[in-house]
Amino acid sequence: MSAKNSDARTIRIATRPSPQARTQAGYVAEAITAATALPCELVFVESTGDVRAEVPLHQMAGQGIFVKEVQRAVLDGRADVAVHSAKDLPTEGDPGLVVGAWCARRDARDALIGSTLSSLASGSTVATGSARRRAQLRAARPDLRFVELRGNIGTRLERIPENGAIVMAVAALEILGLTEKVAEHLEPTVFVPMVGQGCVAVEHRFGDAATREALVAIDHAPTRHAVETERAFLAVLGSGCSLPVGAHVDGAGTITTFLAEADSPGARSVVMQADVSDPDTARLVAAELARVSRREVSGR
């Protein structure tokens, strides 16, 4: 980030204080300054998800537990923009905020840390707080056991079960320079990532034209197309969807979606694919996949 300039406006960036969040917010600040010459400063805000780090994610209602307080800092004027991992952002946005930039996506895949999938002995333990990841791994390896995993990245890396593994987003490891920890990258057409995984979203107040103009310079059009298409899939299911769900648009314009009826052994699940390269129809196609997937897993 550049030094403050008394003649230039400073863009205040609200972010969670975790190492991953502050690092990705720092990248956003550097990109804004490089593109506009405007200085930036970080404003740290603790989220509900951070404060209640001991509570399993599935026990906290709905999406938004990592973003609401950060958004509030922008809405009440303490900050000009809010930076989030796009996968944490509810599909039903706050009407007072606009996503001004979907930053260029990092690796969207999940990865195993501690062991490859084939090397895990029968009955091995995998730690993850994600219902989606459990459902997908259970489909591939019904013999595996699962335990909860919460905390920041450093904490999670210290909690690899003996002779087992943990699951993490590759992008999170990339941000902190920890990709050497990866034992196996999981194929995204089978282990479908969470909607928006690997992307950083930047919101600003509705009507703030000056900030909107600054963010245009860091918005990445291919990522915007991919993430907004994935979010169209999730929107049909509802922001509060508690079912195991994922969607990913690859560089060729193919969307792969995943939905399971429950996070339990033997639960029905469906993986679907479609071409969403046409921006005029992409969201409609994704929405239809969601409706079909919901019918498939419900058996109706």
Catalogue the active-site residues: 88
Spatial CB neighbours of 1, under 8 Å, sequence gap ≥ 6: 26, 29, 30, 33, 39, 40, 41
Q: At 167, phi and psi to the nearest 5?
A: -115, 135
DSSP-derived 3-state class of residue 71: helix
DSSP letter for 115, please: S
CB-based contact 255:248 (threshold 8 Å): yes
CB-based contact 141:117 (threshold 8 Å): yes
* Distance of alpha carbon 80 from the chain centroid: 22
Q: Enter the tokens of residue 71.
A: 């958004």
